Structure 1
């Protein structure tokens, strides 16, 4: 087990996968817990494979990592071998998680989803530590469905999760996003565009490929930049993702100086500014993307990731689509030509975009972090108990 900025005891261990989709709600909740219990009172526990994703996101939070990887949902001989290896790593992670929980003596363990949450949550239950599960997807993932059986409570982001002892809280939202409070009728913010280095007066389309990247969206964004090369009224802000950045940076088109304003970045640390700057966001339908679009009230075109466990991204996207807050384009249809057609139609209909923004805000829960915080506090062991005592 590798540990960064480790300490002795913690009030809470927050365990989950190493992708941005799991880390964003975990960090939002961790920051709120630290405000209550002091710096160093909360520790993130992630998969070793996902440890790199914490860089730039976790800040000063203590982080530990455990071995492990997800199972392949296939029945080929290769998948069987891989899954046997995954089970072996999970067993090793369980042993290391027992040691970690015994040393930290937390008052509560919080599972935020993904296979990395399983060993820590089970270790905590074996040692008598209460478990709270945080579920942020429209359809709960396999790890959360399993762990919810042992949880004192489940914080559900959306209604009808089907999980036992579920409390509808909304998802934990990053502080800076919740602070936006929803865009008003004036729409996008020229000041936010300037903070991102974008022309303040141009309509702005943001394509977001996620913390790692979405190749389909990145290819389409490059195609949009080429198709819109002569558009002097538009900005295309392209958040590529770290994995795809090298080839996208090399493939970026050369544009005329008086045409499209195109800016690509590997990662965007200030998503609140992006949401405020955008007339329209094109993105995958990860749980936190959907939740944050709703909180701020941003019209969106969502391209769900095909093959996501439980098809959860499609279900996430449909939450906004049914409310009239987003258009959904299937991944295999998400060419530059198709996205240009959908995006251009929305850009030409400001009243429709305003209605989409209102519909999104009606779904958003900017108080989600506080609601989850209250649930975690309610089920944590008293500080005077063996698990909850702090030094």
Structure 2
């Protein structure tokens, strides 16, 4: 078996997995071979697809996260989840003993707990990454065991915290809303005369946002100058598609898709985003300098989406609307106010960009290298290879 330098654990959602992939790519960009990075995730999480597509190997652990609440169904599910966590911990121990990594990185989520505790038991240095303004349960637990904590926000309450920023995909970092705008709009079929509003709420979707947009289309029915790209999510797409097909024709340009693999093109083309306030979304909005209307997910652990959104709002890069206050009328009012004020949009774009940390992946890997048991492997440089020959 090839030697593993960094074992990256966690996931469950794209918000946890995508920063991990950015970290892995930074390790290999510094000269380490692909096999020097190995992922451990949940068999039920999106990492089973995303990590493979990125070209890295993954070990999938059994089980699922704990449910919040004390209903009979929640307690029964948590009893099963606890047993599965024990199985996952045993498997994590086996993986660590076999691969002998120099450092373990915890991304948050269910799998990071099993692997993080196993790393502490085997005395493998643990670095945790916290993507949100409010730490999640997994990182609050593992923070006591970690040699370092890489945080997306400056004042995150974790021990040994280092403010690195939240790593963002290279393709998003390279999205150019000025030079690349025309090509991106052509790729999406957006007329140059239209203002493009991109709407999304995660891989499953956000029902409140989806319903508000469905109603807004009636209010915008005659708007030929407006184009809405609605990324509805897998859960609501079929229902929305059926409803939209039954509607009479509208003048407004409207695209309904279930999921978007090429968010970099969407960011380059859009004038405004309406979305939830997950950690990866907020980091990407900052990276590309994108004005936004943010609707935080109610009931998120620690209300972390509201905390994320408030950072962007306080900087002047976003408008925050509570989920309970969003309907078609409020959405139309907020979007129209912004689109009618180009100077404000420009100011919001600059304010959002002021929070960006484009070197976040590099800063996280610097922290990993400072904590690791041994240096990261490097391919020999061309000069050394020639000298050896």
Q: TM-score, normalised by structure 1?
A: 0.91
Aligned residues: 378
Cα deviations by residue, 1:281-336 (Å, 9 ceiling, x for unpaired):
00000001001101111110000001100100000010011111111111112212
Correspondence for 2:133 among 131, 138, 141 = 138
Partner of 2:282: 290
Distance 1:75 1:334 in 2: 30
Q: Does the aligned pair in 1 maintain the 2:103–2:125 contact within 8 Å? A: yes
Are 1:33 and 2:27 counterparts?
Answer: yes
Aligned residue runs from structure 1 range 37-186, under 5 A: 37-51=32-46, 54-55=49-50, 58-180=53-175, 183=177
Structure 2: gaps spanning 5 or more residues: 380-389
Partner of 1:10: 4
Are 1:247 and 2:239 counterparts?
Answer: yes
Partner of 1:3: none
Partner of 2:184: 192
Cα deviations by residue, 1:28-78 (Å, 9 ceiling, x for unpaired):
111111223112221222212214763487421112211222222212333
Distance 2:177 2:77 in 1: 47
Partner of 1:261: 253
- TM-aligned CA deviation for residue 110 of structure 1: 0.3
Structure 1: gaps spanning 5 or more residues: 1-6
Partner of 2:370: 378
Structure 1: which 4+ aligned runs deviate by more than 4 Å? 253-258
Partner of 2:385: none
| Structure 1 residues 258 and 250, CA gap change in structure 2 (3 angstroms) | closer
Three-state SS of the structure 2 residue aligned to 1:134 is: strand
Distance 2:11 2:193 in 1: 39
Distance 2:248 2:305 in 1: 37
Q: Does the aligned pair in 1 maintain the 2:177–2:267 contact within 8 Å? A: no
Distance 2:378 2:358 in 1: 32
Correspondence for 2:222 among 223, 230, 236 = 230
- TM-aligned CA deviation for residue 17 of structure 1: 2.2
Distance 2:250 2:276 in 1: 30
- TM-aligned CA deviation for residue 123 of structure 1: 1.2
Q: TM-score, normalised by structure 2?
A: 0.91
Are 1:311 and 2:303 counterparts?
Answer: yes
